[in-house]
Amino acid sequence: MNEKDLNTEQNILNAAEQVFLEKGFATTKTTEIAKKAGVTHAMLHYYFRTKENLFNIVFQNKVRLLANSFFSVDVTGKSFTEVVSIAVGRHFDFIKENRKLAPFIINEINNNEKNSETWQEIAQPIFAKVAESIIDMMDAEIKKGTIRPMSPFDLIQTVVSLNIFPFVAQPLLKILRHVTDEEYNVILEQRKHENIRLVLLSLQP
């Protein structure tokens, strides 16, 4: 396994990521991945045996990436409001940097039961950990009466809904006004702050 091998394998993986994210499993052709990776068609099978196998590797990586994107804020010395604001903003930025990630995963989960199971197996423990990491903080706030009683999962769901949706439904919403991609970036920045505001509002008792 010298450097060149790793490169080829990695090239295929990178190409596969791009094409799968762009077109989804069904419409992706292995020839296109190979072409983009600059290798022969058969090399793809040499390294990954089947299209499905290659897809699974990509899919699992992406699932891990998405699931780990929720909450990773250093809480020391910050108020709950601050923590939430930072976490929501960061999460929004991450999703923005990986626009195709969420639509890809959602779509593949919808198209294949097996992918759904993969998502559950990988994401569930990660989400549980996230919930655990904020439950004490939330409980304290609830006792103080600064936020209304709710589970961490409710909070997560609200954040996810608000943050992911603009990118999942980007093509749906973009047409509301004729905007260039650059204008859209400005809109997204507004939306980020709007989302932060909405999340905090949703926490109010």
- Specify the stretch interacting with DNA by CB under 7 A; choose among 44-52, 70-78, 148-156, 194-202: 44-52
Cβ closest to DNA, residue 29 vs residue 143: 29
CA distance 202 to 48: 46
CB of 192 within 8 A of CB of 93? yes
How far apart are CB 164 and a copy of itself at their closest, in Å? 7
Binder of residue 165, out of a copy of itself, DNA, none (CB less than 5 to 8 A by kind): a copy of itself
What is the footprint of DNA within residues 50-69 (CB under 7 A)?
Answer: 50-52
The CA-atom distances, in angstroms, between 150 and each of 13, 107, 141 are 41, 29, 11
Instruction: Check if the beta carbon of residue 158 is closer than 8 Å to that of residue 202.
Output: yes
Q: State how far the Cα of 130 lies from the Cα of 121, in Å rounded to an integer.
A: 15
Among 21, 30, 119, 134, binds DNA (CB under 7 A): 30
111 binds DNA, rule: CB under 7 A: no
User: Out of a copy of itself, DNA, none, which partner does residue 31 contact, by CB within 5 to 8 A per kind?
Assistant: DNA
Interacting residue with DNA among 23, 49, 114, 193 (CB under 7 A): 49
- Helix (H/G/I), strand (E/B), else coil: 87: helix
- Which H or E run contains 167? helix 152-168
Kindly list the residues in this chain that would bind DNA in the complex (CB under 7 A).
Answer: 1-2, 4-5, 8-9, 28-31, 39-46, 49-52
